[in-house]
């Protein structure tokens, strides 16, 4: 039978042979979106408004870059199939919870997100706050059900008060000297834990898991610097566009260097990193 039929029928072979990154992203995004739809309570379930708000914030959604990194991290360690999908979904739910809360009037006070009204604009602050809580709680239910205690430990550390929450607090306090800490905790910590979790799910060794973490952290920092550059905010506001670009290039290059130990298996991670610009 033709190889094409084989490829279409088997996503693992498809990713191996057809490392066109755009197709890879579309393929993984589709898997993640379908799984998220399965995990999220139906909008008609009582109390409807909270489930509507949770679904409103997840669909149609953004780039799904963090959960794709989880799956690509899993594959870099030799993982095949859908074993990393539940944790990848958990990572995306956590990301979405941070966005809902970050958009609220007590934080960044944004009216729009992903081209539509923010959750609190649409559903009110009380429901938005709880929708964020609901997504975070659901994330841990899904991750726990996937049965890997080490992933739970890893992710809960990354998003706690010494991780994302700590970064957000430092951001609120607004001390310029804390910018490196803020970027590391507020943005890079979730990328780092997303990629690392893929390796943990596969049961990879310390050397591989550390390499994935280093890669995720550097690519997360790059992502934030480029976002600052676009918005003329954060690091770019403090240090100027030239220095920010230089630092982002340095970090992107260093991120890729952490992947050497994986050889060809890190192709997807490498190409995903190349898209962060
Ligand atoms: C509320 C605990 C708590 C934390 C909030 C991550 C965060 C901390 C706030 C998000 C605000 C922000 C601008 C973060 C910088 C990183 C960033 C550009 C996030 C948006 O991520 P994308 O571009 O979003 O991946 P999509 O829409 O594609 O999912």
* Domains of the chain in sequence order: 11-275 (1.10.600.10)
Q: Which residues in the chain show pLDDT less than 50?
A: 1-9, 15, 18
pLDDT of the residue at 158:
98
Query: Is any atom of ligand 1 closer than 6 Å to the C-beta of 98?
Result: yes
Alpha carbon distance 102, 190 (integer Å): 15
Q: Measure the CA–CA gap between 122 and 112, rounded to whole angstroms.
A: 10
Q: Which helix (H) or strand (E) segment is 268 a member of? A: helix 267-275
Cα–ligand 1 centroid distance for 99 (angstroms): 5
Ligand 1 atom closest to residue 190's alpha carbon, by position in its atom list: 6
Nearest CA, atom 24, ligand 1: 62
Q: Which of 160, 128, 143 is nearest to 92 (CA)?
A: 143
* Rg (the chain; Cα; Å): 19
Please tell me whether residue 116 adopts helix, strand or coil conformation. Answer: strand
Q: Is 112 helix (H, G, I), strand (E, B) or coil?
A: strand
**pLDDT for the residue numbered 61:** 94
Do 66 and 83 form a contact (C-beta atoms < 8 A)?
A: no
How far is it, in rounded angstroms, from Cα 192 to Cα 64?
Answer: 15
Contact, 140 vs 124, CB < 8 A? no
What are the angstrom distances between the C-alpha of 104 and each of 113, 127, 130, 161, 164? 11, 11, 12, 19, 16
Probe target for ligand 1 pocket from 186, 221, 248, with the most ligand atoms within 8 Å of CB:
186
Alpha-helical segments (H) within 40-84? 48-58, 65-76
CA–CA separation, 33 and 4 (whole Å): 25
The pTM of this model reads: 0.93
Q: What's the first-to-final CA gap in the chain, in angstroms? A: 40
- Note the pLDDT of residue 6: 40
Contact present, 143 and 197 (Cβ < 8 Å): no
Calculate how far, in angstroms, residue 63's C-alpha sits from the geometric centre of ligand 1.
12
**Which residue from 57, 64, 68, 98 has its CB within 8 A of the most atoms of ligand 1, so it is best to mutate?**
98
Ligand 1: which atom is nearest the Cα of residue 95? 6
Ligand 1 neighbourhood includes 102 CB (under 6 angstroms)? yes
Give the model's pLDDT for residue 13.
55
* Closest residue to atom 5 of ligand 1, CA basis: 98
What pLDDT does residue 9 have? Answer: 43
Q: Specify the ligand 1 atom closest to the Cα of 100.
A: 1
What's the token pair of residue 161? 């008060």
Is ligand 1 within 6 A of the CB of residue 168?
A: yes
Q: Which atom of ligand 1 is nearest to the CA of 65?
A: 25
Verify whether ligand 1 is closer than 6 Å to residue 62 (CB atom): yes
Kindly state if the Cβ of 186 falls inside 6 Å of ligand 1.
yes
């Amino acid at each position: 039978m033709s190889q094409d039929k084989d490829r279409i029928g088997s996503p693992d072979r498809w990713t191996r042979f057809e490392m066109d990154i755009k197709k890879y992203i579309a393929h993984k995004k589709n898997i993640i979106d379908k799984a998220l739809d399965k995990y999220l309570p139906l909008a008609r379930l009582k109390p409807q408004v909270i489930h509507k708000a949770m679904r409103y914030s997840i669909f149609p959604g953004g780039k799904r870059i963090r959960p794709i990194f989880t799956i690509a991290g899993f594959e870099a360690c030799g993982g095949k199939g859908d074993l990393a999908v539940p944790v990848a979904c958990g990572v995306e739910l956590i990301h979405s919870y941070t966005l809902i809360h970050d958009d609220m009037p007590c934080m960044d006070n944004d009216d729009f997100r992903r081209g539509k009204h923010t959750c609190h604009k649409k559903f009110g602050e009380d429901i938005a706050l709880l929708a964020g809580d609901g997504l975070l709680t659901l994330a841990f239910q899904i991750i726990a059900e996937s049965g890997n205690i080490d992933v739970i430990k890893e992710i809960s550390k990354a998003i706690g008060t010494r991780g994302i929450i700590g970064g957000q607090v430092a951001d609120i306090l607004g001390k310029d000297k804390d910018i490196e800490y803020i970027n590391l905790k507020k943005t890079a910590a979730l990328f780092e834990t997303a990629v690392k979790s893929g390796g943990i799910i596969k049961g990879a060794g310390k050397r591989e898991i550390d390499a994935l973490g280093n890669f995720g952290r550097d690519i997360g920092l790059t992502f934030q610097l480029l976002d600052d550059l676009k918005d003329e905010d954060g690091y770019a506001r403090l240090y100027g566009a030239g220095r920010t670009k230089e630092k982002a290039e340095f970090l992107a290059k260093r991120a890729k260097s952490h992947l050497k130990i994986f050889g060809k298996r890190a192709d997807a991670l490498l190409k995903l990193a190349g898209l962060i610009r």
